[in-house]
Structure 1
């Protein structure tokens, strides 16, 4: 299937300017679990996840305009009614557009590792933002994290657990591959090559 042309305007702009959460029932036109993806990249995970789970209302953040607009356009072409893409930095918008306890799941797929020490502050998983994400999840809600960088995975897992997320397998333990999971565009390459992926499926205590 050829890709649709890149949309000319930022996607999800109406959400970026909000000061309070929107009426998500009205936005999607149906009720159901509300899920968030931070950094949807090329959109492989978001598009396939929405296709497999049509009752889930899925909000995907991606700050790179090419990826964000391409994902939105492909979703529209596929007829996905349960996907909204927001072209912005999730750290500045998520606090305003999701109420406490409103999310059923948060997905974080292969975040930028920010190799330079001076850039470390740009990492998504920081203690303060992680505490906010925990608040946005409903009790029993899930946090799905994957990375291909082991030491970044160890650091993120440590911060998440210290913030109150429960690891069902025990502190510091990564989770095995589950063939039922929806892989991202990047993860498909690793599954084909056999390169390791470090996964965690954490839970907000009930």
Structure 2
């Protein structure tokens, strides 16, 4: 896939300064499960997931403008009516635009591992944000996490489980790959090369 160029029109900015959740039914023009992706990257997961699941309203956050704008543009060209991309830091906006118990699922694909110890605080899965995501999910809602960094995978699982998420396979256990999953752009490469991917599929008690 060609590297995206920076398109001129921002995407999702109307959501960034909202102080309360929008009317998502009106925004999408239909009702259905509302799902969130944090860090959609090149958009491989978001676009294919929306194509396969047209009944899902899917909101994808990506702070890198060129990737966010390219994903939204490609989604429009594909005729996807169920995708909204927001070019912003999810940690700042998610608390305001999603009500408690409103999300059916949260997707987190290969977050930046922040290798330097001084940068650990920038990691997306911190105790406070994990608790907030748990609150925003419906009872029984799921958290789908994937990473290629084993120690970060263990750390994120521990934080999520401490926040109250349930791991159906047991505390600290990773989930195997399932063929019906929708892989991200990066995960497709790993599936071809055989490199390990660490998957967590957690649920909110319900």
- TM-score in terms of structure 1 length: 0.98
Unaligned runs of at least 5 residues, structure 2: none
For 1:127 and 1:6, locate their aligned partners in 2 and report how far apart those are by CA, in whole Å. Answer: 34
Whether the aligned pair in 1 keeps the contact of 2:5 and 2:66 (CA below 8 Å) is no
More deviation, 180-189/7-16: 7-16
Give the match for residue 139 of structure 2: 139
Contact 1:4-1:74 at 8 Å conserved across structures: no
Alignment of 1:122-137 (within 5 A): 122-137=122-137
1:64 aligns to what?
64
Q: Which residue of 1 aligns with 2:36?
A: 36
What is the alpha-carbon distance in structure 2 between the residues aligned to residue 74 and residue 119 of structure 1? 33
User: Which residue in 2 is equivalent to 1:180?
Assistant: 180
Write the distance in 1 (CA, Å) between the matches of 2:98 and 2:2: 34
Please say if residues 42 and 71 of structure 2, whose CA atoms lie closer than 8 Å, have aligned partners that are also in contact. Answer: yes
What count of residue pairs does the alignment treat as equivalent? Answer: 206
3-state SS of the aligned residue for 1:156? helix
Shift of residue 9, structure 1, vs aligned partner: 2.3
State the SS of the aligned residue for 1:130: helix
Is this contact kept in 2: 1:6–1:73, CA < 8 A? no
Q: Name the structure 1 match of 2:48.
A: 48
1:18 deviates by: 0.4
Deviation of 1:4 (Å): 8.7
Q: TM-score, normalised by structure 2?
A: 0.98
For 1:8, the equivalent position in structure 2 comes to: 8
Q: Say if 2:4 and 2:67, in contact at 8 Å, map to a contact too.
A: no
The alignment status of 1:189 with 2:189, answered yes or no, reads yes
Runs (4 or more) in structure 1 with deviation over 2 Å come to: 1-7
Counterpart in 2 of 1:205? 205
**Offset at 1:188?**
0.2
Quote the Cα distance in structure 2 between the aligned partners of 1:115 and 1:10. 30
User: Whole-Å Cα distance in 2 between the matches of residues 106 and 72 of structure 1?
Assistant: 19
**1:169/1:19 Cα in 2 relative to 1: closer, same or farther (>3 Å)?**
same
Provide structure 1 residue ranges, at least 5 long, that are not aligned to the other structure.
Answer: none
2:6–2:65 Cα contact (<8 Å) kept: no
Structure 1 residues 24-173: aligned runs within 5 Å? 24-173=24-173
**CA positional deviation for 1:10:** 1.6
Asked if the contact 2:6/2:69 (under 8 Å) is kept, the reply is yes
Q: How far apart are 1:182 and its partner, in Å?
A: 0.1
Change (3 A) 1:65 1:160: same
